[in-house]
Amino acid sequence: MSVYQNTSAMLKRLSKDANRITFSYLSISLLLLLFMVQSCGNSAEDSSDAFKVALLTPGPVSDAGWNASAYEGLQLIGTTIGAEVSQIETRTPADFEQGFRDYAGAGYDLIFGHGFEFQDAAATVSESFPGSVFITSSGTTVRDNVAPIVFEIEQATYLLGMISAYQSKSRKIGAVGGIEIPSVKSSFDAFAAGARSVDPEISVVVSYIGNWEDAGAAKEATLALMDQGIDFIFHNADAAGLGVFQAAQERGSVFVFGSNKNQNDIAPDVILASAVLSIPTAMLTVAREVQNGSFSPSIRRLGMAENVVTLVINSKLRDRVPIEVWDAVAESEGKIRSGELTVPRGF
């Protein structure tokens, strides 16, 4: 009897173990299958001689702003010059480097790192892959095969600062940022400079949330600014910036500005204007140069004069601001275009 019981217990245990083993076996084979499918895909790509372009973004491309524009640029390159394109999202400096290395190793001819923060990784990886060109969006680092495209968004944020200073009742304006990287800080400094060109005494407050995704935190940061009486707010926080618009919609009585892409339609009742960058056309220009061999490594500064940076006013709210203000803004815009007025830059 006891032998029987022991056997039965043992069988039970064995079947439990078998269960577990089956589970592990299934999971592992599923993973292997996935890898196989993926590597098949890769080898198929390697065999073609097409011009290959890749993009690393610091956040999700569904942000309707900075990263979305770059994704559109990549697609434009794909459709216009028939390049093979690929994109990944990278969050940490280690990811940046790994991303560059993976694409360069896979024979990509041109790799965009979309942000100031990609410079170091681009410089490091570029030495091992002289056959690939690395372009960072904003930055100062130049090597034989590394160069930045600097979007002079400051020219537009300067004008946004002017509008704010003309219209602010509390004489307090603010900005919400993701992380304080030089390109973001520079856009805020120009916003402040534009405001001070109108009202030297105006107070400009900047608040950072510490990442690019936390829309809830961005909303609370904006509400906190409003509690302080701030009535004009610019954001440069990518996806989290949506929280800024949400706060403005909820409270009303403030105006906000869009950044990097025309965001006026996202919250047409509160977004007065957007500082817009034509990131796709700039990316296409560089891609064409790399493809036909005319690329030379240098810092490309693209601003209002090149029609890459524009100020887009929300037509629905245009009447809320006196015509004299728009005239003054248009005058300054003309001076920026002609080079008569130089907007301060952080780097």
Partner 1 sequence: MDVVIFAGIAHAGASFALPLLLAALGEIFAERSGVVNIGLEGMMLSGALGGMIGSYFTGSAWLGLGIGMATGVFLAVIFSTAAVHFGADQIVAGTAVNILALGLTGVVYRRVFGITGSTLSVESFDAVEIPLIHDLPMVGALFSGHTPPVYIGFLLVPIAAWVLFRTTLGIKIRAVGEHPLAADTAGIRVQFIRHGCTLFSGAMAGCAGAYLSVAHANTFVEGMSAGRGFIALAIVIFGRWHPFWALGAALLFGIANALQFQFQAAGSAVPYQFFLMLPYLLTLLVLVIFASRTYPPAALARAYARR
Binding site for partner 1 (CB under 8 A): 9, 12-13, 16, 19-20, 23, 59-64, 68, 71-72, 89, 174, 180, 203, 205-211, 213-217, 219-221, 223-225, 227-228, 230, 239-240, 242-243, 246, 249, 266-267
* Beta-bridge mates of residue 137: 149
Distance in Å, CB of 91 to partner 1, minimum:
9
Distance in Å, CB of 67 to partner 1, minimum:
8
CB neighbours of 280 closer than 8 A, spacing ≥ 6? 69, 70, 72, 73, 76
Instruction: Report the amino acid identity of residue 100.
Output: F
| DSSP at 212 | S
Distance in Å, CB of 144 to partner 1, minimum:
33
* Beta-bridge mates of residue 134: 111, 146
Distance in Å, CB of 328 to partner 1, minimum:
26
Give 123 or 254: the residue with its C-beta nearer to partner 1. Answer: 254
Give 146 or 230: the residue with its C-beta nearer to partner 1. Answer: 230
| DSSP at 44 | H
Give 203 or 310: the residue with its C-beta nearer to partner 1. Answer: 203
Reduce the DSSP state of residue 135 to 3 states and report it.
Answer: strand
Is 56 in contact with 100 (CB distance < 8 Å)?
yes
Give 60 or 297: the residue with its C-beta nearer to partner 1. Answer: 60
CB neighbours of 7 closer than 8 A, spacing ≥ 6? none
Distance in Å, CB of 286 to partner 1, minimum:
20
6/243 Cα distance (integer angstroms): 64
Give 146 or 247: the residue with its C-beta nearer to partner 1. Answer: 247
Distance in Å, CB of 114 to partner 1, minimum:
13
* Beta-bridge mates of residue 306: none
Distance in Å, CB of 223 to partner 1, minimum:
6
Token look-up 């400079």 returns 193
Give 23 or 347: the residue with its C-beta nearer to partner 1. Answer: 23
Q: What are phi and psi of 69, to 5 degrees?
A: -60, -45
Q: Is 47 exposed, middle or buried (0-12, 13-18, 19+ CB in 10 A)?
A: exposed
DSSP output for 150-203: EE-THHHHHHHHHHHHHH-SSSEEEEEESS--HHHHHHHHHHHHHHHHH-TT-E
Give 223 or 313: the residue with its C-beta nearer to partner 1. Answer: 223
